[in-house]
Structure 1
């Protein structure tokens, strides 16, 4: 009997944030991680009228790295290290929280002055055992520095790790693969089986894995060790993510990720008491600790 390439299908939970919607595939009740990926959001697509903008107020993270990747629009990133960086489509912002960091993401003034579009993929990567409390860091890698592979009517930008002989210059802490794959009509490209855990997310358009049709805004976990062919009839956009499987479980509560629940509790107390560093130039506002169960949480 031929094994199917898909072992798990995860339909995101949608959160309506007013001006736009966020579709959250990870963490879910059925699965917390795919490789080091422990959070996977698609923000938008959305249209913002003149005068509107997105304001993700200052908030903390620990024991993870955030990866911001824009499809359309832009964000202005600020953090407690003093970083101030505009990110636009095709570039990568990698923020390593480690022992603790605070950041904000807001629409720049140039976007607020006009009607604008917003579409992005936001992911978190858990840090490996022994590296969770590393020093915080931030790096921006422009679109021009990320390798692009074109073959079989497909175009893939390698965001992290290596794919089809090309390696992205973005820092990785665990074995990671992350790519933005644009499929033209009639595309048929192989998805190899090198990574221990792999996920395919159809961000838009149409695609199929072997002969299994994929649904938009859905995360598919692939069978370990089995290759497959990604196809499209009319064209589509797919995110490939994954990497090494973690042997130690990670816990998620609000914006905190850690192998230790006690560490998350301590971080929550530190944020409430105002013990995290402030963001230069964006220190007046903040997101308070949620009451009850937050929207982002792992499940026992």
Structure 2
């Protein structure tokens, strides 16, 4: 590890969900957050069997915002606000849980016949304390509405925040940077030092940072204040994420994030007692509270 560039290296925990895998780097034992990012999953890449699809049954969230971004495939989103939206590659689904929301994610019926493709990132953003209990909300930003920087050998789409002199229209609650960087063979982009906390993640292909080879599906937390050059000899898809450092810690248990453990305990009790709202059009099944969740913070 290059000590002058990299503050921390977080290797993924991989979960096989039957037909596809997710690679999770946040939260982890070494680190819970990078800026507001408190959950970081890479889904796939995978091609599911014909006639099947992903079926994430209705489940609750509190005190966070989920961000879904696809490289390939499509997902139908439904939530307890009555939202129905299909996300496709290059677009953003931002769902603000606030005081509580329930949603489901499923492969569109049109995708199932030939075997859905699935590849993308799902992240959660912790909300600053003043926003933790806001009204829930949903926002879809089309790919055409996100700024794209084209340079020789590289294309970068800004998903959230301000980067490289452009600003994404996606709502942010804390200072956030989030970008999808596609590097052609021999391409490069500068990574500046404009955020408190930043991380680089190679989703596919190979890339180097100032000559240091980056392992795929690994989250590299950059040392504050450094600027560097991201480069690929054979082509890559890379994510840059981060933002402002939170002054207070966040707790994670299953799908719940909060600055208060008591608030998480209340959400657990509310879900068990069927006190969360239902998802119109998808209210016949749901995910029960697990005895031992796969997603937890580490005190």
Give the TM-score normalised by the residue count of structure 1.
0.98
1:151 aligns to what?
Answer: 151
The answer to whether 1:25 aligns with 2:32 is: no
What corresponds to 1:289 in structure 2? 289
How far did residue 129 of structure 1 move?
1.7
Shift of residue 116, structure 1, vs aligned partner: 2.6
Shift of 1:152: 4.3
Cα distance in structure 2, aligned partners of 1:24 and 1:88: 22
Asked if structure 2 preserves the Cα contact closer than 8 Å seen for 1:152 and 1:189, the reply is no
Counterparts of 2:258 and 2:34, CA distance in 1: 16
**Which residue in the other structure is 1:102 paired with?**
102
Closer/same/farther in 2, CA of residues 244 and 81 from structure 1, 3 Å limit: same
Deviation at 1:261, TM superposition (A): 0.2
1:75-110 Cα shifts (integer Å, max 9, x gaps): 000000000000000000000000000000000100
Give the alignment's TM-score, normalised by structure 2: 0.98
Please give the alpha-carbon distance, in whole angstroms, between the structure 1 residues aligned to 2:169 and 2:147.
Answer: 9
SS of 2:131's equivalent in the other structure is: coil
Deviation of 1:3 (Å): 5.7
- Give RMSD over aligned pairs: 0.9
User: What whole-Å deviation, never above 9, does each CA across 1:129-173 have from its counterpart, x for those lacking one?
Assistant: 211000000010001000000124110000000111111000000
Q: Which runs of 5+ in 2 are unaligned?
A: none
| Off by >2 Å, runs of 4+ in structure 1 | none
Please give the secondary structure, in 2, of the residue aligned with 1:130. Answer: helix
CA contact (8 A) 1:178 1:242 kept: yes
Aligned length: 298
1:51-84 deviation line (CA, Å, top 9, x unaligned): 0100000000000000000111000000000000
Whole-Å separation in 1 of the counterparts to 2:152 and 2:227: 16
Question: SS of the counterpart of 2:269?
Answer: helix
Tell whether the 8 Å contact from 2:24 to 2:41 is kept in structure 1 after alignment. Answer: yes
- Counterpart in 2 of 1:16? 16
C-alpha displacement at 1:115, in angstroms? 2.2
